[in-house]
């Protein structure tokens, strides 16, 4: 675990250099298009996939997506696009 001052340095760099927070702080970027598509970048892997639930590993915790009729449209090492009816998106801290 990085010391707390390391996080402060990252925050300072993001603010002064105008860098995207998701890149510098290793956060997921989630793009939701209505209830039909969700695009997640910067995840750490697919843990669970059913037609009603998708669970992704994040650097800190997990992302749980619930809905119906899920289909994986695109999957890459750190990116995934789902299609279906998206009802809920949860962040789960471990």
The string over 46-76, giving b where at least 16 C-beta atoms fall within 10 Å of a residue's C-beta and e elsewhere, is eeebeeeebbbebeeebbbbbbeebeeeeee
The residue extents of the domains of the chain are 26-92
* CATH fold for the domain made of 26-92: Immunoglobulin-like (2.60.40)
Threshold 0.85, pTM exceeds: no
pLDDT tens for the chain, residues 1 to 94: 555 666 676 666 666 666 555 555 678 999 999 999 999 999 999 999 999 999 999 998 999 999 999 999 999 999 999 999 999 999 999 7
């Amino acid at each position: 675990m990085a010391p707390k001052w390391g996080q402060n340095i990252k925050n300072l760099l993001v603010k002064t250099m105008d860098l995207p927070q998701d890149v510098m702080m290793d956060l997921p970027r989630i793009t939701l298009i209505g209830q039909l598509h969700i695009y997640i970048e910067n995840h750490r892997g697919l843990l669970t996939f059913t037609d009603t639930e998708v669970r992704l590993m994040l650097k800190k915790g997990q992302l749980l997506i619930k809905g119906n009729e899920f289909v994986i449209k695109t999957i890459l090492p750190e990116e995934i696009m789902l299609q279906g009816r998206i009802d809920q998106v949860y962040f789960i801290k471990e």
